[in-house]
Homo-oligomer: A and B are copies of this chain.
């Protein structure tokens, strides 16, 4: 349960006081504002503010086209055209600000997306809470035996229990030590900026994270992907739902062209031509490496 009664009371207060604005309003996102969406065992994502909607994307695009716009007759069609042709600037005209609570090892992946604004809780200045991410048993995955950067089957039985026990015990002990070191009870107390170095990467931090829709979709394409680590994907999945409610037409185009789409190489396109021509193409005759061929087959495989 990620929210304390105080936090819930603050959210209720923020949600009870609508004001008038002349700005573009997204009804779908207003309904979500401030509410914390739980992620993992103690994390959350909540929308703090936003700018723009589907119409704002089109409005910006039409500035470019001026009086000349006529080929694209409606907003959804225009948004699909922009997405298909990688016209990213109109999507940059929408902005969102999220409050996220997340484990530090997830934060370290997340921060690699540089085109965003961040204010993170400072462990130099303040004391971190005793909250650690402990995976649910169904996410306790073994190391993949075929892919260095991947997960295999789920651990079970005694091995799973031992891992959970280790994670809990070590986190608790590290936090006990942290408290012992910073305590000013009968001693000077170690500087917070030093004591935090004893805390493991599954401790929770939080930040305000603000980005534009183009960069957000790029983040989601990479982090809602099956190859992303499960823990960051859990956040990306929740944000996808928010984007769907915020800019529904843009999200539909994103699903079709990015999440469900694939970039095929010149070699791959040539293989498709040969296959449509009736030729039997194999990895050996494809001109692709084994890895590429496997990915190519997956891209055009029947989806159940």
Contacts and interface: CB of A to CB of B under 8 A. Distances in A.
B51 A49 contact: yes
A226 interface: no
A7 interface: no
Nearest to A141: B191
A148 B22 contact: no
A273 B273 CA distance: 13
Contacts of A151: 191, 193-194
Contacts of A147: 71
Interface string A217-242: 00000100000010000000000000
A14 B261 CA distance: 38
Nearest to A301: B273
B60 A119 contact: yes
Interface residues of A, number: 141
Nearest to A16: B22
Contacts of A105: 196-197
Interface string A90-105: 1011010101000111
Contacts of A77: 289
**A143, A159, A196, A273 — which one has the most chain B CB atoms within 10 A of its CB?**
A143
Contact of A208 (B63, B111, B149): B63
Interface string A120-144: 1110111100000101000011111
Please provide the 9 A-B residue pairs with the shortest distance between their CB atoms, ordered closest to farther.
A260-B266, A66-B126, A68-B126, A142-B188, A197-B202, A92-B117, A18-B20, A51-B51, A114-B114
10 contacts: A20-B25, A51-B95, A80-B292, A92-B117, A125-B148, A141-B190, A142-B188, A166-B180, A196-B201, A269-B299
Interface of A: 14-15, 17-25, 30, 33-34, 48-52, 56, 59-61, 63-71, 77, 80-81, 84, 86, 89-90, 92-93, 95, 97, 99, 103-105, 108, 111-112, 114-115, 117-122, 124-127, 133, 135, 140-144, 147-153, 155, 159, 162-163, 166-167, 170-171, 173-174, 177, 180-182, 184, 187-194, 196-202, 206-208, 210, 212, 222, 229, 255-257, 259-270, 272-273, 275-276, 289, 291-292, 295, 299-303
